[in-house]
Amino acid sequence: MDISVTPNYSIVFDFENDFIHQQTRRWMQKNWTWVFYYCGVYMLVIFGGQNFMRNRQRFDLRPLLIIWNTALAMFSIMGASRTAPELLHVLRHYGIFHSVCVPSFIENDRVSGFWTWLFVLSKLPELGDTLFIVLRKQPLIFLHWYHHITVLIYSWFSYTEYTSSARWFIVMNYCVHSVMYSYYALKAARFNPPRFISMIITTLQLLQMVIGCAINVWAHGYLKTHGSQACHISPNNIKLSLLMYSSYFVLFARFFYKTYFSSSGKRSKKLQSASSGPGKDSNGYYQKMSAAQITHNDKIKAQ
């Protein structure tokens, strides 16, 4: 570990210290295209599952949902605590250019490198979020499955290139997921955190997209002025990432407005509050529900 570009970790676990990034990169360069098969299976399962569940009673799955969200919350908290110090250290001692253009978070920092590797791999099991939606017969919106698929593909592809700006994306995602999955674990366990927290979570997601776009704009500028030898991001990666984050911003902004500010969104919030039937899927996306849908869900809960 190069201490000149890494924070002074108080504790380094053996599994982190044993991390060898060259091996994981070779594996990913050889196998990353399998992600397209995984996405194909995912699409077949979720939409085939919806058809399968159409005339069947929903599964409750509350105990499993509590465990699932709690596990993802704990993983995200640990990931944030092990990657954020590296980003803050680099910003403090080396500045924005290094944070955007130099992949030292993988090549020189075994702690951050290990949790970067786990982050990339975690995007595959996170597809399981959607199974809870399908089996519990909740609304599956485009934003949900589009977000899952594109993040998975982009993360695996970017790891093959050691995309330097990814340190920003990884830290932001870990931090937002730490809050999001903790909140939904509490909701699944029938605790009732204030509803404004869900609005804060969506706001954090929007902020994440704005920063993601800004990082790509900076990366493009640095690549033009300093060249590919100094800034380790490919032009194609910047284009893909900017397109992805821009599309997320549009979708999340539309979702934010329709959920919290449109007249239909306000009515559905009142109905949900009155019925104690939150229209939330397992990945934290709130759905607007009609009074009939809420009544139907309440009947199921009572059974």
Active site residue 220: no
**Contact yes or no for 140/279 (Cβ under 8 A):** no
Token digits of residue 120: 């990339």
State the Cα–Cα distance between residues 197 and 204, nearest whole angstrom.
Answer: 10
How buried is 40 (Cβ within 10 angstroms: 0-12 exposed, 13-18 middle, 19+ buried)? exposed
**Contact yes or no for 59/135 (Cβ under 8 A):** yes
Q: What is the DSSP letter of 57?
A: P
Distances (CA, A) of 12 to 7, 116, 217: 11, 15, 34
Helix (H) or strand (E) holding 301: helix 291-302
Nearest to 136 by CA among 62, 197, 213, 83: 62
Token digits of residue 94: 């080396």
Burial 285-295 (b: 16+ CB within 10 A, else e): bbbbbeeebbe
**Contact yes or no for 164/103 (Cβ under 8 A):** yes
Q: From the candidates 21, 147, 148, 232, which is the catalytic residue?
A: 147
Q: Tell me, what amino acid is at 253?
A: A
* Residues involved in catalysis: 147
